[in-house]
Amino acid sequence: MPKAYWVSAYRTISDPEKLAAYNRLAGPAVRLGGGRILARDGRVAAYDAGIGGRTILIEFDSFEQAVAARDSDAYQEALAALADGVERDFRIIEGLD
Q: What is the pLDDT of residues 33-58, one digit of tens each?
A: 999 999 998 898 999 988 889 999 99
H/E stretch holding 76 reads helix 73-82
H/E stretch holding 89 reads strand 86-94
pLDDT given at position 8: 96
Q: Using CA atoms, how far apart are residues 96 and 16, in angstroms rounded to an integer? A: 35
Is 97 a residue whose pLDDT tops 90?
no
44 secondary structure, DSSP code: -
Q: Is residue 60 within 8 Å of 66, Cβ to Cβ?
A: yes
pLDDT given at position 50: 87
Angle, to 10 degrees, between the axis of helix 16-32 and the axis of helix 63-71?
130
